[in-house]
Chain A
Amino acid sequence: MSAEKHSPLAQFEIKQLIPMRIGDFDASFTNSSLLMVLTVLSVSAFLILGMRKNAHIPGRWQSVVELSFVFIANLMKDTVGSEGRAYFPFIFTIFMFVLFGNLLGMMPYSFTFTSHIVVTFVMALFVFIGCTIIALIKHKMHFFTFFMPPGVPMYMAPLLIPIEIISYLSRPISLSVRLFANMLAGHTLLKVFAGFIMALGVAGIAPFVFVVALTGLEFVIAFLQAYVFAILTCLYLNDALHLH
């Protein structure tokens, strides 16, 4: 019953399950990797098993699968337009991965890999580099006019172009920090208030009620942050395809 074991941050600890080394590089299979594998497996199972009957009149499971598909398809249609159709698999994969990662992280004794900035930042970096490459292929050199808003006098360019470039470069950071900070803050808050329950004895009923309510809120946030991540990816894709 040491104080360390009850630290609200202990849940974010990375534990090596199968130690592995590639040269000097630590490539161990950790609890974070395990949860990512579980997420991929459960998303695949959810989609493939849900559609195995492929019925004209969907059952409950199949309609949930179709609903998630249509949800992202509509989101893309509204934000990117018909040109974004080619990128639907990417956005859908990102959305399902983040959503299931968040939801699996809500299980007791589980681990939330989206609460680690490394994971979210790499995902955001892939989105950012991908969108930049798409824009470069589609618009060639014309892409660089993105950093010079139309109708700006030339003498403002030396100041405005660095500002626009920094604004552009800040996208992957704001994208990843938003997801990571929400998950980190939510899970820490849950643990902190759960710690009060035993410490307060009978009066612990108050934080207990609060934790129950907070758990519900966390489920909403788990969904909302996956949705926000998908929307922002769509918006960046829209900028890449249509520039201004």
Chain B
Amino acid sequence: MVNNGQDQNKSSQQDNFTEEKQDLAEISRKLEQATAEREAPSKLAAKIKQPPSNALGLAMRVSVEVLSAVAVGFAIGWVLDDWLGTRPWLMLVFLLIGGAAGILNVYRLALTLGGGEQNDETEGKSEINRDN
């Protein structure tokens, strides 16, 4: 009777042991899967390239890009005018250049959005080359 009980105990222990091993294998498999998912860089990178879901946010980004460049152009022209004593003229010139810089900013923003395709950056470069 005593012997029998011990045997049962032993076998159940063995069962526990194999179960534990299986559990560990399962856990390590899941861990590997999780780390592989984390290692994949494409997910977040793709998310950044996607256009923002709300149009208001995009409109806000574009308008801020244009306005900030125009403001910088205006400020540079104003300071140079003060310095050189050519009151309205350099301000007007730099206002126009600032506008061009604003359009450039928006162009760059549009390149990074690019509909989430892979080779939009190379496309953009070839576009520039073609213009030349």
Q: Which residues of A contact B (CB under 8 A)?
A: 70, 74-75, 77-79, 149, 151-153, 159, 162-164, 166-167, 169-170, 173-174, 177-178, 181-182, 231
- In the complex, the answer to whether A167 meets B104 with C-beta atoms within 8 Å is yes
Q: In the bound complex, what is the Cα–Cα distance between A181 and B72 (angstroms)?
A: 18
CB distance from B66 to the nearest CB of A (A): 9
New A-B pairs, 10, CB < 8 Å, besides A149-B128, A163-B100, A178-B64: A74-B41, A77-B41, A162-B97, A163-B104, A166-B72, A167-B101, A169-B76, A170-B68, A170-B71, A170-B98
- In the complex, the answer to whether A78 meets B98 with C-beta atoms within 8 Å is no
- In the complex, the answer to whether A181 meets B64 with C-beta atoms within 8 Å is yes
CB distance from B54 to the nearest CB of A (A): 10
- For the complex, would chain A's binding face be called helix, strand, loop or mixed by DSSP majority? helix
- Chain A residues lying within 8 Å of B120, measured Cβ to Cβ, are none
Q: In the bound complex, what is the Cα–Cα distance between A149 and B104 (angstroms)?
A: 12
- In the complex, the answer to whether B76 meets A166 with C-beta atoms within 8 Å is yes
B20-61 near A? 1/0 per residue, CB < 8 Å:
000000000000000000100100110010000000000011
Q: In the bound complex, what is the Cα–Cα distance between A170 and B48 (angstroms)?
A: 21
Q: Please list 24 pairs of residues, one from A and one from B, whose beta carbons are closer than 8 Å in the complex, sorted by A's number.
A: A74-B38, A74-B44, A78-B41, A78-B44, A78-B48, A151-B132, A162-B94, A163-B101, A163-B104, A164-B101, A164-B104, A166-B72, A167-B102, A169-B72, A169-B76, A170-B68, A170-B71, A170-B72, A173-B68, A173-B72, A174-B65, A174-B105, A178-B64, A181-B60
* Size bin of chain B's contact surface: 20 to 34
CB distance from B96 to the nearest CB of A (A): 10
CB distance from A244 to the nearest CB of B (A): 10
Determine if B129 is an interface residue (Cβ-Cβ < 8 Å). Answer: yes
- B65 — nearest CB in chain A belongs to which residue? A174
